[in-house]
Amino acid sequence: MTADFLTLSNLTKSYPRVIANDHVSLSIKPGQIHALLGENGAGKSTLVKIIYGLVQPDEGEMQLAGQPYQPQSPAQARAQGVGMVFQHFSLFESLTVAENVVLGMENSPPLSLLQSRITEVSQAYGLPLDPRRIVRDLSAGERQRVEIIRCLLQDPKLLIMDEPTSVLTPSEVEILFKTLRKLSAQGTAILYISHKLEEIRQLCDEATILRRGRWVAHLDPKEKTANELAELMVGATLNAPQRHKRTQGPVTLAVKGLSQPPLTPFSPALKNISFTLQQGEILGVAGVAGNGQDELQLALSGEALSAAGTLYLGEKDISQMGPNARRSLGLASAPEERLGHAAAPDMTLVENALLSASARLALAKYGLINWSKTRNFAGEIIAKFDVRTPSTEVVARALSGGNLQKFVVGREIMQKPKLLIINQPTWGVDAAAASAIRQALLDLAAQGAAVVVISQDLDELIEISDQFAALYEGGLSEPCPIEDLSFEEIGLLIGGVQSRENTHATA
Amino acid sequence: MLQLEKRPNPSRFWGRATPVLAVFLTMIAGSILFALLGKNPFIAMRTIFWDPILGEYAFYFRGQLLVKAGPLILIAIGLSLGFRAGIWNIGAEGQYIMGAIFGAGVGLALYPMEGWFIFPLMVLAGVFGGWLWAMIPAILRTKFNTNEILVSLLLVYVAEALLASMAVGAMRNPQGNGFPGSRNLSQYPSAANLEIWAGTGIHWGVIAATGAVISAYFLLQRHILGYHISLSGQAPKAARFAGINPNKMIVICLGLSGALAGAAGLFEVAGPAGQISIDFNVGYGFTAIIVAFLGRLHPVGIALAGLLMALTYIGGENASTALGLPAAAIQAFQGMLLFFLLGVDILTNYKIKWIKGRWK
């Protein structure tokens, strides 16, 4: 039996009002792929930040290769063989791959030498990447490879990967997994953070589960079902959302050749998007981030106007109407960014209830706000959607991500819309809240509303949508019934391959 | 060592207590300053804060207090609406001058006719003048995305030049023996904005300022427009999500602040100042910016801040004549007030915590 490469014993780190890590212990052997599982706020990020030297623990000890290990900074951690690939990349868009790598190095070799090293490493680990390309032109998967190679050049003994697959297409995920397995075979330990359970069951040898800062279990993920893992994470039994039988009615939303120039120099244009959506139908829109999700959301919600004759709600042309005119006709929307877009961070929940509901629920008459009616509405949302908050007078930023998302989704659903546009409904939300939100969307459709769900979480879309389409560089694939698609076909659609020969054009 | 810790919710207590704390700290720092200048700090503080209200000659100062606070509050209320929305009108001084020129222009044009409608007409003209001047940065911002801070500020100097040319040109008193300056409106009964109750300092401008405080309070508490103003400033993206047109907000906020500044200019020119003269404007438009922040952009706060600011002016003048304090020291004292206010503001959103022996 080989000795552990990294051991953490009784690590504790507390922040004001919350203990992020409460006596957490963990050990990783060389070559092991170790999963760190937990909901948002379970303390995964704090734990890896401690290992990577970004945060110092209040208590506890760490040992690396048998020696006491107390990194004071990421540079020290790197020097001792610990590398980390963050969820959010830190790359300069206008520089080449090699130039970006140089910027992260303490003593960098000449650029030409580095370029050949990058090519060498990328070939050795099966990560195709041309060091001379400009980062701006790279896909998310390729950008991640830059980050991985940047780490590999330092020859790490432990590689930490924080939610690496959240921005990847299925085929890119496969390439990544091959690389990670190769690294592990060569003896590199990998600490893999994710909440995608199937992935973890495929890839990892061992898993440590955290819940609210505490160690919960240490197990072999291959011996458990995804549902068992989820229940350990949440600490409660989870019910899969129930689909209702629904009768589909007349067309609610018709999009006819919607195009839009880029809103900013770095955002994609919308290209000739067409689809129709019937009453009671849920359209799932997949795609890798930055392929037009926000733009589609803004165009449908009315925050960006579009050319006349491109958007119809029922029989009515809504292309030129602003958000409130559309709301009065029965459209509701929930954008991706909760704080700052869907809700004002420093306003109370009552004030935030007014934000999008004043038009449809007549919360203001002749400009006079009916605060008691608004307060009641906020109270109803909190009660019905199980928003955990001490009162309605709390500011939005004081709520956790999941609770605020439940509030935002509840606010829109309780306006009884005919059409709901929702972007990333469960992003960063814990499993229990996510399943409640998905159920709410299914219930809304069952009551006859049409729903457009834009999401990067494929499992979510498969779980709740009737029709499926993918956004790629601002264009939308033709929607087709989700049960007709294989996982491979979905992957191809997300990657922009439109080779489906109209087999499902009848959808 | 001391460490700042963000509060989950802004503290209501400190939101109200910080202005008081700031005044208190200003008194301490001011006392040190005056002591270094060789003056008795207690007497200096008494001369500034006590004498104008309750001292032997308070009857003279008290009237002055409202005369000075009136325009400050009126202008600051208008500015505060824009500041809440993230629209920075720095040129209230210019709008104030234009209000005076337009309003006085109407009065001078009708001289020597008498009639009840003349003064209201002048008020309307004053409001229009201020609004018009504020529309220049508003339109430039909405059409060409120019910066309203710079445009409104630079227009102050244009307005000053216009004022000077009016005082020696078109509006000069034909019976003024060639001296610059217009006819004295306070001696023209239909146009004069006189004290309504003798000795109080209350003229129509003070009444208008009171009305503005009450209206702004109502607007912010109960009206959807007030909500939209706050929302635009706090979360511009959320405001767009709520269906608010940002350009409309810019036009409304700059328009309102310009109109109120214009009204303040008219009340001043028809009353305490009396005439259009080269040195008509004394910086109310700029001081009102301080008043707006000192009052935390809250209407009631602004009313109190306007009175306090007027008091430091009057008390400061009193101190410089009575104690021979240099004018610069009084200005430094007023600057300290703003400095401390912004400094202790951090307590609203942060807690100070003492942490033992952990040096970063």
Q: What are the residue ranges spanned by the domains of chain A?
A: 6-234, 251-494
Q: Are A282 and A440 in contact (CB under 8 A)?
A: no
Q: What pLDDT digit, counting tens, does each position of A401-437 carry?
A: 788 999 999 999 999 999 999 999 987 777 778 888 9
Q: Which residues in B lie closer than 8 A to residue A355 (C-beta atoms)?
A: 231, 238, 241-242
Task: List the single best residue of A56, A327, A347 to mutate versus B (max B Cβ within 10 A).
Answer: A347
Verify whether the Cβ–Cβ distance A369 to B223 is below 8 Å: yes
How much is the average pLDDT of A225-234? Answer: 80
Best of B9, B221, B228, B241 to disrupt the A interface by mutation (most A CBs within 10 Å)?
B241
Concatenated DSSP letters of A485-500:
--HHHHHHHHTT----
Computed from CA positions of residues A406, A408, A414, A417, in that sequence, does the dihedral angle turn out positive or negative?
negative
From chain B, the residues in CB contact with A368 under 8 A are: 222-224
A295's enclosing H/E stretch is helix A293-301
Task: Among A128-142, A259-273, B294-308, name the most confident range.
Answer: B294-308
With CB atoms and an 8 Å threshold, state whether A354 touches B227.
Answer: yes
Please report which confidence band the pLDDT of residue B355 belongs to, taking 50, 70 and 90 as the band edges. low
Which residues in B have their CB inside 8 Å of a CB on A? 5, 8-10, 222-225, 227, 230-231, 234-235, 237-238, 240-243, 245
Confidence band of B2 (pLDDT split at 50, 70, 90): confident
- Helix or strand (DSSP H, E) at A467: strand A467-472
A303 touches B: beta carbon within 8 Å:
yes
Q: Looking at this predicted complex, what is its ipTM?
A: 0.84
- Give the per-residue pLDDT at B255: 97
Instruction: Search chain B and give the residue with CA nearest A360.
Output: B242
Does residue B313 have a pLDDT over 80? Answer: yes
Give the pLDDT confidence score for residue A17 in this predicted structure.
Answer: 65
What whole-number distance in Å separates Cα of residue A36 and Cα of residue A45?
Answer: 10
Rounded Cα distance, B93 and B89, in Å: 10
Q: Do A368 and B222 touch (CB under 8 A)?
A: yes
- The pLDDT value recorded for residue A240 is 66
Ranges assigned E (strand) in A45-107: 59-64, 67-68, 82-85
Contact across the interface for A323 and B234, Cβ inside 8 Å: no
- Decide if B231 and A345 are in contact by the 8 Å CB cutoff: no
Phi, psi of A36 (to 5 degrees): -115, 115
Which residues fall within 8 angstroms of residue A238, CB to CB, at 6 or more apart? A227, A230, A231, A431, A432, A435
Phi, psi of A142 (to 5 degrees): -70, -35
Domain A251-494 has CATH 3.50.50.100: no
d(CA B69, CA B85): 24
Do the Cβ atoms of B250 and B148 come closer than 8 Å? yes
Q: Is the pLDDT of residue A383 over 90?
A: yes
Please tell me which residue of chain A has the smallest CA distance to B237: A341
Q: CB–CB of B231 and A303 under 8 A?
A: no
Q: Dihedral (C-alpha) A89, A92, A93, A97: value to the nearest 10 degrees?
A: -90
Task: Judge: B223–A344 Cβ closer than 8 Å, yes or no.
Answer: no
Token representation of residue B19: 């202005």
Residue A168 pLDDT > 80, yes or no?
A: no
The alpha-carbon gap from A348 to the nearest alpha carbon of chain B, in Å, equals: 10
Look-up of token digits 């989820």: A230
Taking only the tens place, the pLDDT of each residue in A67-118 is: 899 998 888 898 889 999 887 778 888 888 988 888 877 777 888 888 888 8
Q: Inter-chain contact A323–B242, Cβ cutoff 8 Å?
A: yes
Q: Output the pLDDT for position A504.
A: 44
What is the spatial distance between Cα A210 and Cα A12, in angstroms, rounded to a whole number?
13
Instruction: Write out pLDDT tens, residues B339-348.
Output: 898 888 888 8
Residue B67: Cβ within 10 Å count: 22
Residue A324 with chain B: CB contacts under 8 Å:
242-243
Measured distance CA(B297)–CA(B304) in Å, rounded: 11
Domain boundaries of chain B, sorted by first residue: 72-293
The residue behind tokens 């009884």 is A416
Q: What percent of chain A has pLDDT over 90?
A: 37
Mutate to test the interface with B, among A341, A356, A389 (most CBs of B within 10 A): A341
Nearest CA in chain B to A353: B242
**Which chain B residue shows the shortest CA-CA distance from A323?**
B243
Strand A158-162 and strand A82-85: the pairing is parallel
Say if residue B261's pLDDT is above 90.
yes
- Compute the nearest-CA separation of B358 from chain A (Å): 11
User: pLDDT tens digits, residue range A442-489?
Assistant: 999 999 999 999 998 888 888 899 999 999 889 999 998 888 888 778
Q: Residue B6 forms beta bridges with which residues?
A: B350
Query: In which residue are the tokens 């008043």 written?
Result: B291
The CATH homologous superfamily to which domain A6-234 belongs is P-loop containing nucleotide triphosphate hydrolases (3.40.50.300)
